[in-house]
């Protein structure tokens, strides 16, 4: 581990030098790349430097324990015990810090929520999930911006796409992809029977320009008039935008803004994120088949969580976590679930590294 940590430190010093190089500073793409790398290395370096200090302190304490003065020997013994305990703590901390980190963790994300089985009730629950995630994002100091939405006739969303931005947005939401099942009595149910519906969630990291290159000749861009559910929010100008990526057949629409240019810019952001997701899924498919999944597969068809309203219960099936405070969760109190998933992911990664 020490050799690897020293390599991290040497690279940190090298990157610091590059960030002061006028040639790098004048090249925005290179500069941003090195800023991100510097930020990543900065997570490890302070703990490593402290670790080196502690090891040196332990050696000094060992030497001083040979001192004939009983008081000095006792002080040295106390220092040795204190520093040895700190050394163990730092070793555990550094082991975790050296785990391969998802390069997308600090990126903004696009959160896509779609009503699945269950008709009107699924659309209403899609809106409830969007509200839950928006409130949770706000508690984490993350920004939420609606990118596009398709409203259902009787309320809720057939589909809603939002951008969540801020430090650690992807690391916060990355385990939310999958099928979310709801069990409750719909407002339209006269007999009081419990219905089961499903909503799918996809979490896509925002693509940087260096991640995805799009040839403008491979795009078909259509403009049309915005339409809202039941005739609401109808715009009299052709401001809605539909972008089709011809090689993949991916289609993105955006009509929430009254400006065609704003809708086009938003749609392009979502398209890039979907293309990046498609690329990364293809790249990791072979690896995923070879190794045990850490927290589910990320497959959007996988049922990951059940929200049972009559019992005020929420269950995450991947880690077997059940909480009887669904009312609080739906108000955005997701931290306990998100942190349990992250801890489980970390523990599985540590086991894989030791295996």
One DSSP character per residue, 110-162 reads EEEEEE-TTTHHHHHHHHHHHHHHHHHHHHTT-EEEEEEEEE-TTSSEEEEEE
Boundary (domain end) residue, out of 97, 115, 143: 97
Q: For the chain, how many structural domains are there in total? A: 2
Question: Do 32 and 168 sit in the same domain of this protein?
Answer: no
Q: How high is the pLDDT of residue 260?
A: 87
Q: How high is the pLDDT of residue 11?
A: 94
Q: How high is the pLDDT of residue 281?
A: 75
Residues across the chain: 355
Question: Do 145 and 109 sit in the same domain of this protein?
Answer: yes
What whole-number distance in Å separates Cα of residue 350 and Cα of residue 343? 11
Q: How high is the pLDDT of residue 258?
A: 79
What whole-number distance in Å separates Cα of residue 253 and Cα of residue 244? 9
Residues facing residue 67 across a β-bridge: none
Question: Do 246 and 187 sit in the same domain of this protein?
Answer: yes
Q: How high is the pLDDT of residue 118?
A: 84
The residues near 234 (Cβ < 8 Å, ≥ 6 apart) are 225, 226, 227, 228
Boundary (domain end) residue, out of 39, 64, 97: 97
How far from each other are the two terminal CA atoms of the chain, in whole angstroms? Answer: 16
For residue 77, give the CATH number of its domain: 1.20.58
Q: Phi first, then psi: what are they for 331, rounded to 5°?
A: -90, 5
Q: What angle in degrees, to the nearest 10, is found between the helix axes of 335-354 and 120-139?
A: 80
Owner of token pair 């011809």: 246
Give the closest residue to 204 by CA, choosing from 134, 136, 276, 263: 276
Question: Do 189 and 58 sit in the same domain of this protein?
Answer: no
Question: Do 93 and 112 sit in the same domain of this protein?
Answer: no
Q: Phi first, then psi: what are they for 144, rounded to 5°?
A: -125, 125
Q: How high is the pLDDT of residue 210?
A: 58
The CA–CA distances, whole Å, from 67 to 61, 70, 71, 308 equal: 10, 8, 9, 67
* Whether this model's pTM surpasses 0.85: no
Question: Do 179 and 325 sit in the same domain of this protein?
Answer: yes
Q: Which structural domain, as residue segments, surrounds residue 22? A: 2-97
For residue 127, give the CATH number of its domain: 3.30.70.1660
Question: Do 79 and 128 sit in the same domain of this protein?
Answer: no
Query: Per residue of the chain (355 residues), what is the pLDDT tens digit?
Result: 788 899 999 999 999 999 999 999 999 888 988 998 898 899 899 999 999 999 999 999 999 988 888 889 999 999 999 999 999 999 888 887 887 777 788 889 999 999 998 888 999 999 999 999 999 999 999 999 998 888 888 889 999 999 999 988 999 999 999 999 999 998 767 677 899 999 999 998 888 765 678 888 889 998 887 665 444 444 456 788 999 999 889 999 888 777 888 889 888 889 888 888 888 777 666 544 444 443 443 444 578 999 999 999 999 999 999 999 999 999 999 999 999 998 898 888 777 765 4
Question: Do 172 and 275 sit in the same domain of this protein?
Answer: yes
Boundary (domain end) residue, out of 52, 67, 97: 97
Question: Do 150 and 206 sit in the same domain of this protein?
Answer: yes
């Amino acid at each position: 581990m020490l050799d690897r940590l020293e390599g991290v430190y040497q690279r940190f010093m090298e990157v610091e030098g590059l960030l002061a190089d006028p040639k790098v500073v004048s090249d925005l793409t290179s500069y941003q790349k090195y800023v991100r790398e510097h930020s990543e290395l900065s997570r490890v370096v302070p703990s490593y430097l402290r670790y080196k200090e502690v090891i040196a302190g332990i050696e000094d304490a060992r030497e001083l324990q040979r001192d004939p003065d009983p008081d000095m020997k006792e002080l040295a013994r106390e220092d040795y015990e204190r520093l040895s305990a700190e050394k163990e703590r730092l070793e555990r901390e550094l082991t975790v810090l050296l785990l391969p980190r998802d390069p997308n963790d600090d990126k903004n994300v696009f959160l896509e929520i779609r009503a699945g089985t269950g008709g009107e009730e699924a659309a209403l629950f899609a809106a409830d999930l969007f509200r839950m995630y928006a409130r949770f994002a706000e508690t984490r100091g993350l920004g939420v911006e609606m990118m596009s939405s398709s409203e259902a006739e009787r309320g809720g969303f057939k589909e809603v796409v939002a951008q969540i931005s801020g430090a650690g947005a992807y690391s916060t939401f990355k385990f939310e992809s999958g099928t979310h099942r709801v069990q409750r009595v719909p407002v339209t149910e006269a007999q009081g029977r419990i219905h089961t519906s499903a909503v799918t969630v996809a979490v896509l990291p925002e693509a940087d320009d260096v991640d995805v290159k799009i040839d403008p000749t491979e795009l078909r861009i259509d403009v049309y008039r915005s339409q809202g559910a039941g005739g609401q929010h109808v715009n009299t100008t052709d401001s809605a935008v539909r972008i089709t990526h011809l090689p993949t057949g991916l289609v993105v629409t955006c009509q929430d803004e009254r400006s065609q240019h704003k809708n086009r810019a938003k749609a392009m952001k979502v398209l890039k994120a979907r293309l990046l997701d498609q690329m990364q899924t293809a790249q990791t498919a072979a690896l995923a088949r070879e190794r045990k999944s850490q927290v589910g597969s990320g497959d959007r068809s996988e049922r990951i969580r059940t929200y049972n309203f009559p019992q005020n219960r929420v269950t995450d099936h991947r880690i077997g976590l059940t909480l009887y405070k669904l009312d609080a969760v739906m108000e955005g109190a997701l931290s306990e679930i998100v942190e349990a998933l992250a801890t489980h992911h970390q523990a599985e990664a540590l086991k894989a590294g030791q295996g």
